[in-house]
Amino acid sequence: MQNYRVSINDLPPDGKQFDLDDQDIWRTPLQEFEMDCRISAPLMAHISVLPAEGGCLVRGELHGQVILPCNRCAEDAVADIRSDFEEFEELPDEDAPAAENARNGNATPNLALEAGSRIVYERNAPMLDLAAVCWEEFMLALPVNPLCKPDCKGLCAQCGANLNSGDCACIPDEGDPRLAVLRGLTLHKT
Ligand SMILES: [Zn+2]
Ligand SMILES: [Zn+2]
């Protein structure tokens, strides 16, 4: 994948705008983490980066559409992605072990990124990783409870049939406390 790092020290005073629509920015980590998530309408991010004391200000917007498994029936659930974000990216502490390692060219140069910072050092220059920004904002924009439709009936807990395509032959196992009492009696008798 292409490198989307922006040198923070080289930002003009009024900031810089970026349009990102390379689907690999999202597709690569989706595959890497083996996530059950397909891009159904291209993801696009518009990001502006402003220089600020001790870091930079990252403002942007992300939109697109993905298909996730429905939380109730596991069929396709279409989820619109639309989010606005504004965050201050602080320069990682120069004395932090991660930054130290990266500067000295030791192993694990990506440690700073893995530890949560979206700023990495390249030859002593702080670089904002726009691909990391796009990925993290995407993860935050994913629905917590994706549903194929708002009233998805889910799967039968007993036979596993998809109840959206009709009732199965099972006797409902819950809902009526009187049935629970009857079941209790039956169990007691046998
Ligand atoms: Zn469903
Ligand atoms: Zn059933």
Ligand closest to 163 (CA) is: 2
Go through the chain and tell me how many residues it has: 190
Q: Which strands, in side-by-side order, build the sheet including 125-129?
A: 5-7, 125-129, 119-122
Ligand closest to 157 (CA) is: 2
In this structure, of 1-5, 7-11, 46-50, 108-112, the range with the lowest mean pLDDT score is 108-112
Q: Which tokens in the block code for residue 175?
A: 């809902």
Residue spans of the domains in the chain: they are: 5-141, 153-190
Q: How confident is the model at residue 153 (pLDDT cuts 50, 70, 90)?
A: very high
**121 and 108 in contact (C-beta within 8 Å)?**
no
* Mean pLDDT comparison of 42-46, 86-90, 154-158, highest-scoring range: 42-46
- The percentage of the chain sitting over the pLDDT mark of 90, rounded to a whole number, equals 71
Q: Which one, of 32, 17, 143, lies nearest residue 81 by Cα?
A: 143
44 CA to centre of ligand 1 in angstroms: 27
Instruction: Between 33 and 175, name the one with better pLDDT.
Output: 33
177 forms beta bridges with: none
Full-model pTM = 0.77
How far is it, in rounded angstroms, from Cα 159 to Cα 182?
21
Is it the case that residue 115 has pLDDT exceeding 90? no
Is it the case that residue 110 has pLDDT exceeding 60? no
162 CA to centre of ligand 1 in angstroms: 8
Q: Which one, of 50, 42, 59, lies nearest residue 15 by Cα?
A: 50
Give the mean pLDDT of 153-157.
Answer: 95
